[in-house]
Amino acid sequence: MAQSGKLYLVPTPIGNLEDITLRALRILKEADYILAEDTRQTLKLLSHYQISNTLHSFHSHNEHRMLEQVMKDIEQGKIIAQVSDAGTPGISDPGFLLSRACLEKGLPLECLPGATAFVPALVKSGLPCDEFTFIGFLPEKKGRQTAFQKLVNETRTCICYESPHRLLKALNQFVEFLGPDRRISVSRELSKLFEETINGTCAEVLAYFETHTIKGEFVIVVEGKK
């Protein structure tokens, strides 16, 4: 029987390409192949570091179909690296399904430490970091009202992601459900050239973004109920 291989979950930079570890680069070089959320995005990173390796698409639309073959490859001794477009696989990105399958089959799995957007946003928000809850992307439609209602009495700092075209809607809903005076911090383009963090009350931050261009992916950090 072939010796079991291994799955590596490899965090990639959320913006600045220098934000990657030496071990991550080594794994990306040495793996038998790389599973990428978007091969075009991953190719940019590999090209920057002059890494040549085989890329296979692995995303929410094909991960169930690909899963069986990937499991077979690991069982047969192959070393596989999984990356998302930016950040750590499994954090609001593909990664959970493959990790769970490895654990169920008793196959080796390792997640490297590295970049993820919500940690720097939380730390620079000035809000309490000792306890917090991360809810990922807010629901687009179904369940959105329920998600906000759950936050009304949440005493921990809350972190979520939001897309640019729904940011104003989210900020208005924070004012509606949590009140205009609750403290909030909104970060965008973290580690990139136009990185920006706006701190203030829900009403103040809403007023700011109502009069400024909204671009990039956003991390919202909200004060818990006192």
Identity of residue 27: I
Q: For the chain, how are helix, strand and coil distributed in percent, rounded to 5?
A: 35, 20, 40
183: which strand partners? 201
Q: Mean pLDDT in each 10-residue stretch from start to end of the chain (226 residues)?
A: 82 96 98 96 97 94 90 96 94 87 95 95 96 94 93 97 96 98 97 95 98 94 96
Angle at 9 between CA 8 and CA 13, to 5 degrees: 130
The set of residues, in sequence order, having a beta carbon less than 8 Å from that of 180 and lying 6+ positions away, is: 201, 202, 203
pLDDT at position 1 is 44
The torsion region of residue 90 among left (phi > 0), alpha (psi -120 to 50) and beta comes to left
- The domains found in the chain, sorted by start residue, are 6-111 (3.40.1010.10), 118-222 (3.30.950.10)
What pTM did the predictor assign?
0.91
At 139, is the secondary structure helix, strand, or coil?
coil
Q: How far apart are CA 32 and CA 34, in angstroms?
A: 7
pLDDT at position 92 is 80
pLDDT at position 93 is 81
